[in-house]
Structure 1
Amino acid sequence: MKKIRLLFNNIPLPIRLFLGKAFLFFVIWKLIYSFFLFDSQVVDNFLTTHVGEASVKVLNSLGSMSGFTAINEIVQEPHYGEFQAFNMSVIYHNGERILNIANACNGLELLVLYVGFIVCMPSSFKRKLLYIVIGVVLLDVVNILRCVGLIYLREYFHAYFDFAHHYVFKIIVYSSTFILWVIFSRKIQLKNESIQVG
């Protein structure tokens, strides 16, 4: 216990403050999501519908491609050994089902992760608000383009779909989040250390 306390005390105060705020933010978010948002699915359903409809608009505007539609449906899928109903934005191409966009793919967790980092870092309210708005919009666009890419691959280059879904697009999305964090962090002064991050 003494070693843990000593190790903790050796961590610079600004980092301890950041970790404390981040932990508190995470706990509060999980409580709000678990007790108020999960059952109603209001936020998830809105985002899932938005991502599906926006993806279809992008695809239908790409030259010769058209005939894509997004329809909200309740889909029965296996979950921990039994079938459960999930609300999804189902993408069709000329009446044929191409892809299900589930609530887990709507980008909500990623947006909360991004916002949490910005909120917990020391900076002015105005700067935080600016980066939150710009970052949320950019990450939403990146997630929509990720879904567009997946739909396109599923329809035209099916052999590459699984690899892109599990690796390529995840790397792109998380790299985008990390780059936004780095840009935000570059001009932050740590209070107890006269060091400029970046």
Structure 2
Amino acid sequence: MDISFRNPLFVFLIKALLLYLAWTAFYELWLHPNKEIELLVVSNISWIANGIIELLGFELIVPEVLYKYEKTVGIDGTHGLFVSDSCSGITLMALFTGFIIAYPGKLLRKLIFIPIGIFTIHIINILRIVGLCIVLKHSPESFDFNHHYTFTLVVYAYIFLLWVIWTNKYASNPQRVL
């Protein structure tokens, strides 16, 4: 393996490492302690998920609970879900963004692909929350498994699919992946 500054893999790994360190510092020192962005994203997830649940014909949990705890999503007859900051998807969006930035490609394509990817990751995350609410209503005994494995796998597989699309279609000198 050629370990030089001209090796594209080496350049990608260095960029990815530097972006990861920058993101971690930014997140730990400002974004997470500040909480405003996470609260905004989680509130948006909760609000849209509750709307989808109603569109699907389910009754929501007691409205007083929803208004008192804006991070709560749920179907009547369940205790609902508390959407924590770690469920916001912000870290996954940053991981996706870091990969696209680090991987070779034209800036304009990156400026188009990154927001589309972030938006669709957010939508997938909302659908994950809706799915977990339905699981909690109809199969509460399988909630923990689905929360920790099934839906997590779906979200990560989607992000991987976005990466594959980027590397195969939009990156400079695309290297066929899959």
**TM-score when scaled to structure 1?**
0.79
CA contact (8 A) 1:60 1:67 kept: yes
Superposed, which structure 2 residues align to 1:87-98 within 5 Å? 89-94=71-76, 97-98=79-80
After the TM superposition, which segments of 4 or more aligned residues of structure 1 sit over 2 Å from their partners? 66-73, 91-97, 187-190
Report the AA paired with residue 115 of structure 1: T
- 8 Å CA contact 2:74, 2:80 repeated in 1: yes
- Listed as ranges, the gaps of 5+ residues in structure 2 are none
Tell me which structure has the larger Cα radius of gyration: 1
Aligned residue identity for 1:117:
F
**Which of 45, 51, 54 is the equivalent residue of 1:51?**
45
State the AA in 1 paired with 2:58: M
- Following the alignment from structure 2 to structure 1, what is the Cα–Cα distance between the partners of residues 140 and 2? 50
Letter in 2 for 1:50: N
- The question of whether the paired residues in 2 share the 8 Å contact of 1:26 and 1:116 is answered with yes
Does 2:8 align with 1:34? no
Deviation at 1:94, TM superposition (A): 4.2
Cα deviation, residue 146, structure 1: 0.4
The percent identity for this pair of structures is 28
What is the rounded CA distance, in whole Å, between the counterparts of 2:162 and 2:116 in structure 1?
Answer: 9
Please, which moves more after superposition, 152-161 or 108-117?
Answer: 152-161
Task: Name the structure 1 match of 2:3.
Answer: 9
- Please tell me whether residue 103 in structure 1 is matched to residue 85 in structure 2: yes
C-alpha deviation, 1:120, in angstroms: 0.8
**SS at the partner of 1:49?**
helix
2:105 is matched with which residue? 123
The reply on whether 1:143 has 2:125 as its aligned counterpart is yes
Q: C-alpha distance in 2, partners of 1:37/1:170?
A: 23
Contact residue 58 and residue 76 of structure 2 kept, 8 A: no
From 128, 150, 154, the equivalent of 1:168 is: 150
Instruction: Determine if contact 2:38/2:90 at 8 Å carries over to the other structure.
Output: yes
1:95 deviates by 8.3
Whole-Å separation in 2 of the counterparts to 1:11 and 1:124: 20
Conserved? CA contact 2:106–2:172, under 8 Å: no
Q: Cα RMSD (Å) of the superposition?
A: 2.1
Question: Following the alignment from structure 2 to structure 1, what is the Cα–Cα distance between the partners of residues 136 and 20?
Answer: 35
Which one has a larger percent helix, Structure 1 or Structure 2? 2
Q: Which has the higher strand share?
A: 1
Gaps of 5+ in 1: 1-6, 74-87, 191-195
Q: CA 1:13–1:91 in 2, change beyond 3 Å: closer, same or farther?
A: same
